[in-house]
Amino acid sequence: MPFVIDIDPIAFRLGGLAIHWYGIIVALAVLIGLWYAAREARRAGIDAEAFESGAWWVGIAGVLGARALYVLQRGLDPGMGPLGFFMIWDGGLSFYGGLVAAGLALAVFARRRHLSLARLADVVAPPAALGMAIGHLGCVVSGDSFGVPTTLPWAVVYRNPGAMAPLGVRLQPTQLYEAVAVGVLFVALGAGRTRLERLGAGAVAGAYLVGLSAIRFVLFFLRDEPPLLLGLKTAQWIGLGLGAVGLVVLAVLVVRRPVAAGSLATPEVGRS
185-223 tens-digit pLDDT: 999 999 999 999 999 999 999 999 999 999 999 999 999
Banded model confidence at residue 144, pLDDT cuts 50, 70, 90: confident
pLDDT band at 127 (very low <50, low <70, confident <90, very high): very high
Identify how many contiguous H helices and E strands the chain contains and give both numbers.
8, 4
How many CA atoms within 13 Å lie on the side-chain side of 188? 14
For residue 214, the model assigns a pLDDT of: 96
Residue 268 lies in a domain: no
Based on the structure, what is the number of domains in the chain? Answer: 1
Query: What share of the chain in percent tops pLDDT 70?
Result: 87
Q: Which pLDDT belongs to residue 155? A: 96
Task: Determine the Cα–Cα distance for residues 144 and 173; give it in Å rounded to an integer.
Answer: 11
Q: Single out the residue of 197, 214, 213, 211 nearest to residue 253, CA to CA.
A: 197
* pTM, entire model: 0.84
Query: What span, in angstroms and rounded, lies between the C-alpha atoms of 175 and 172?
Result: 9
Q: Per the domain annotation, does 154 fall within a domain?
A: yes
Helix axes 203-219 and 234-262, enclosed angle (nearest 10): 150
Q: Is residue 266 part of a domain?
A: no
* Percent of the chain whose pLDDT exceeds 90: 50
Is 250's pLDDT higher than 50?
yes
For residue 265, being part of any structural domain is answered with: no
Provide the residue range defining the domain that includes 206: 3-260
Question: Residue 92 — very low, low, confident or very high, per pLDDT cuts 50/70/90?
Answer: low
The yes-or-no verdict on residue 261 having pLDDT over 80 is no
Kindly state whether residue 267 falls inside one of the protein's structural domains. Answer: no
Is 271 a domain residue?
Answer: no
Considering only 41-50, 83-92, 109-118, which range has the smallest mean pLDDT?
A: 83-92
Domain contains 269: no
Q: What average pLDDT is seen over the chain?
A: 85
How confident is the model over 50-83, as pLDDT tens digits? 787 787 788 888 888 888 877 776 665 655 555 6
Note whether residue 272 is domain-resident.
no
Q: Is the pLDDT of residue 267 over 60?
A: no
φ/ψ of residue 93, rounded to 5: -135, 145
Give ∠ CA 56-68-22 in degrees, rounded to 5. Answer: 70
